[in-house]
Every structure is written in C-alpha cells, then in structure tokens.
Amino acid sequence: METYRIQTNASGTRSMTISESHLETIRKYSLLKNLIDSNGIIDEGVLDKLKLNVRSMLEASAETDRELLDLCLDVIYNNNMKAFGLNRLVELYVKWEKASAQGGEPESEE
C-alpha cells in the first residue's frame, strides 16, 4: 500500500503520512465534496466543517466504520492538521484521484 507525506505547516517543520486507505476513505464518504466554498480558500473554518461532518457521520452510524475512525485519528483530528495541511491533503487527493483514474500513482511530495 502506497503512503504519501504532506507538509502541514508553512515552515515545513511538521508533516503527516497519508495512506492510500485514507484517500480511499475520503473518496468512499465524499468528504471533500462541497466542503470548500466558492472562493476556494481553505481556512480553519473549513477544517472545522470537515471535523463536524465526520463527527456527525460517526455519531449517526449504528456501527463504527474502522476506516473512517482511522482517518479521524490519523489525519483529521491529528494535532498537526491545520488549514495548511488540509490544503495539502486536498491537493494530494486531487492528484491521487487523477492518477487512479489513469491507472497510475501520484508523485509523492516530500
């Protein structure tokens, strides 16, 4: 299984590992669909909106989806995840989606 590293702050001192299963979970639940406003800016409000959406999904489900829970613990609610990191996650997801549609792998960002 492929893993990717994304930078989570502007200075480059923090990063996070994103697995292919994290990206597949994002696709499965369409977590990024309609998340970003028409202005295209990803700020802390957008990150809070994502956290609330995921939290609602977990609370509404009778059984816990382990993949969604792993995504929450590893990525969305990670202490390093800020708006900058979410922006990088969205960029990675778009590249990954495009590459998977073409049958390839996106380039890893170091």
pLDDT at 101: 86
Structure tokens at 78: 């990670």
pLDDT at 62: 75
The span from the CA of 104 to the CA of 32, in Å, is 21
pLDDT at 63: 79
- Residues of the chain scoring pLDDT < 70: 104-110
pLDDT at 38: 85
